[in-house]
Amino acid sequence: SQPLTLYEKMGGAETIDCIVSAFYPRVQSDPLLAPLFPEDIRPVMEKQKCFLTQFFGGPPLYSQKYGHPRLRMRHLPFPITPSRANAWLRCMSLALDEAGIEGELRQEMWSRLYFTASHMINTDEEDI
């Protein structure tokens, strides 16, 4: 018996769907984040579902469809300041609330999301 992945512990595709569906409406109504995203958010949601699936140990859907994530590089066109990373994390925290994710599972998910969001920062606050 292998240890369960975070993907399995959270409840798989259904939970990923729930998180992504709760996350993007918040992003789109956040004054710091909204201007960075396209009006039609559906393609972004589709990519994020694939990415989070593999990020949390599920099937490698993102890499299969879109190639190596190279996430920091893909974010370089967008000025990501510390306050935008915080806003992203705030939206994600509320999405995890909405998906009912608690306890140790939440802590494990959070530390990965927090680490990755911090890694995306590519612009100083005073440069925007």
Q: Tokens representing 109?
A: 């998910």
Q: Out of 6, 22, 34, 44, which residue is the one contacting ligand HEM (CB under 6 A)?
A: 44
Provide the minimum distance between the beta carbon of 30 and ligand HEM in the complex, in angstroms, as a whole number.
9
Contact 65, 50 (CB under 8 A): yes
For the bound state, the minimum distance from the C-beta of residue 87 to ligand HEM, rounded and expressed in Å, comes to 7
Query: Interface with ligand HEM includes 48 (CB under 6 A)?
Result: yes
Given 33, 91, 96, 109, the residue binding ligand HEM (CB under 6 A): 33
Q: Is 120 in the site for ligand HEM (CB under 6 A)?
A: yes
Distance, in Å, from the CA atom of 96 to the CA atom of 111, rounded to the nearest integer, reads 13
Considering only 34, 46, 78, 110, the residue that binds ligand HEM (CB under 6 A) is 78
Residue 116 is a binding residue for ligand HEM (CB under 6 A): yes
Instruction: Give me the least distance between CB of 14 and ligand HEM, in Å please.
Output: 19
Interior angle at CA 110, CA 106 and CA 113, nearest 5: 140
First and final C-alpha spacing in the chain: 51
Q: Locate tokens 């939970």: which residue?
A: 15
Residue 46: count of CB within 10 angstroms of its CB: 14
Q: Which is nearer to ligand HEM, 2 or 7 (CB)?
A: 7
